[in-house]
A and B are shown apart, each in its own frame.
Chain A
Amino acid sequence: MRRRGLFSRTALVLGLVFLYVPILSMIVYSFNNSRLVTVWDAAHSPTLKWYGVLLSDGEVLDAAWLSLRVAVCAATASTILGTLAGTALARFGAFRGRSLLVGMTTAPIVMPEVISGLSLLLLFVALEQAIGWPQGMGALTITLAHISFCMAYVTVVVQSRLAGFDESLEEAAQDLGARPAKVFWRITLPLILPAVLAGWLLAFTLSWDDLVISQFVAGPGSSTLPMVIFSKVRLGVSPDVNALATLMVSVVASGVVVAAVWMRHRQKRRERDAQLAAAANL
């Protein structure tokens, strides 16, 4: 018994090392003075030189701003669409076209990105020929493309959250005379709110991170941050990318810590409320 546990635990530790060494190495080398990314210049390091280089690079800043706008719009729209689709799939039972909707919401998750990107670009080209819209490729076409694959993820998250709740609360509200829209706003939405928020964050990250689909549907002059990073990296390793990676990892890590603290706080409060209620009953 113990020996088997030892094997899988060793594998887990080694696996986690494998997952984190590359990230840690980027963080460490972002403070390295040398241009050669992997040669540690002990005399002049640690330094914030590359952060300075990064933050004075207009191309990077423009791209980051574009990526941020696209990600906020795409995440918001895909959360609305994905919540609708997830609700329909989890709550409407069997309806005509259900299996088509299931197929269309799960396929984008595994679809190779080159295919999604190519097909969306061809759609935009055909649309522009037919109805003159969208005029050229740019932020709009990137956002539209991102909404489509992000909403698939939101749908899955919302649907599985709804599958975890039975419908008794909603039925009770309906029996008490609440109209369907009111049931949704007052009962369903508060129940699935954590999933909706998680879906938004996931969609934001996917959009912010996407390279391949953006490359297909972006026009000249509309480069997202991953596109700028990719062209830098293809030309050779550049140390300011390490600085950028460190900044992004710090944002994610602090977000996770805040979320963990908040959830623990909420759980403690709930336990205290339960204790108070129990005490009041005595």
Chain B
Amino acid sequence: MPRWFSARRLVAGIPALWLTVFFLVPFLIVLKISFSEARLAIPPYAPFLTWLHGLPVPGIHLSGYAYLFTDPLYLRSYLYSVMVAAVSTLMCLLIGYPMAYAIARSSETWRNFLLMLIVLPFWTSFLLRVYAWIGLLQNDGLINEVLLRLGLIHHPIILLQTDFSLYVGIVYSYLPFMILPLYANLEKHDTALLEAAEDLGARPITAFLRVTLPQSVPGIAAGSLLVFIPVVGEYVIPTLLGRTDQIMIGRMLSDEFFDNRDWPVASGVAILILLALVVPIVLLQRVERRNLETAK
């Protein structure tokens, strides 16, 4: 057998090869097409290399990007998406932290049961759970019905296709992604430290702010990134629950591709989303690696 052949190389090599073909190369293609020009052809973009006097000439066009930067529609949608992601991350943190804390401090039998309750919705269809909110939030939906019956409002209030319904949908869908890493972190805390702080006369709130909160930073970081990154490019929730006058960037990409059939612009949007996410993704890998190392 040749020297380069070994079982170890095969074990690492097969998945690496697969991911290279189906994950890495596709990105290079997106990058390539984003620098191409839209054509009325199949596929609808200009070829990367054209032949001139027998020599290959790379055709680099910035028309797609020029379009993205001159039309304020894209910039607004981009900033809106980043803002929605940041606000929903904060909301998930504020709701998820006390929940994770309560689970981490509960007795062992309860803990597994509660964790299962957090994870269970994750195993049922994401799309159907978002759909459920349409039924709850629409004008003749359950929430308006209850508010009317209680006499708190006299006309149904418009909840669907607002920022409110968008945030409800996102927080609802991504809350488990915040709670699980927070729980994993909080569960490892040594309660002796907290008791020591209280024995020394710290009030519970001070003990929490000075002892528990600083220790849980890795959990907060992991959870926040796991929510923030996918929400920036979220497509389903804004389409079903979000505003119609302000669309998010993921929807923009899809519309450019399917409705306008402008592949270079759609690829350009994808590259811009990725640029916004490079820093958070690298941060996430660092945090995860450190969390894995401290777990050992």
Contacts and interface: CB of A to CB of B under 8 A. Distances in A.
Interface in B266-296: 266-267, 270, 273-274, 277, 281, 284-285, 288, 292, 295-296
Given A119-B270, A209-B126, A105 B172 contact: no
B70 interface: no
Nearest to B140: A38
B234 A233 contact: no
B236 interface: yes
B230 A110 contact: yes
B16 A118 contact: no
A22 B26 contact: no
B102 interface: yes
Given A119-B27, A241-B131, A248-B125, A9 B102 contact: yes
B124 A252 contact: yes
Contacts of B24: 104
A36 B250 CA distance: 31
Contact of A114 (B16, B138, B233): B233
Contacts of B124: 23, 245, 248-249, 252
A22 B168 CA distance: 11
Nearest to A104: B19
Interface in A82-131: 82, 84-85, 87-88, 92, 95, 97-98, 100-108, 110-115, 118-120, 122-123, 125-126, 129
Interface stretch (A12-20, A41-49, A55-63, A168-176): A12-20
B133 interface: yes
Interface of A: 1, 3-5, 7-9, 11-12, 15-16, 18-23, 25-26, 29, 36-39, 81-82, 84-85, 87-88, 92, 95, 97-98, 100-108, 110-115, 118-120, 122-123, 125-126, 129, 144-145, 147-148, 151, 155, 160, 163, 180-181, 205, 208-209, 211-212, 215-216, 226, 229-230, 233-234, 237, 241-242, 244-245, 248-249, 252-253, 256, 260
Given A5-B105, A38-B135, 15 more contacts: A8-B102, A15-B99, A16-B99, A18-B95, A38-B136, A81-B18, A88-B11, A92-B12, A115-B253, A115-B270, A151-B15, A215-B254, A226-B127, A233-B131, A233-B240
B138 A245 contact: no
Nearest to B119: A256
Given A22-B129, A120-B22, A122-B33, A84 B12 contact: yes
Residue of B128, B136, B140 most packed against chain A (CB within 10 A): B128
List the 4 shortest-distance A-B pairs measured between CB atoms, nearest first: A112-B233, A119-B26, A11-B98, A22-B132
A212 B29 contact: no
- How many of chain B's residues touch chain A, expressed as a range? 35 or more
Interface string B31-44: 00100000000010
Interface of B: 7-8, 11-12, 14-16, 18-27, 29-30, 33, 43, 95-96, 98-99, 101-103, 105, 114, 116-118, 120-121, 123-129, 131-136, 138, 140-142, 145, 172, 175, 198, 204-205, 208, 225-226, 229-230, 232-236, 239-240, 250, 253-254, 257, 263, 266-267, 270, 273-274, 277, 281, 284-285, 288, 292, 295-296
A243 to B, nearest CB: 11
B198 A12 contact: no
Contacts of B253: 114-115, 118
A252 B285 CA distance: 31
15 contacts: A15-B98, A18-B172, A20-B121, A38-B140, A95-B12, A97-B12, A114-B250, A114-B253, A114-B254, A115-B30, A122-B29, A155-B15, A205-B123, A212-B235, A252-B123
Nearest to A226: B127
Contacts of B101: 8
Contacts of B288: 106
Nearest to A98: B12
Contacts of B235: 112-114, 212
B225 A110 contact: yes
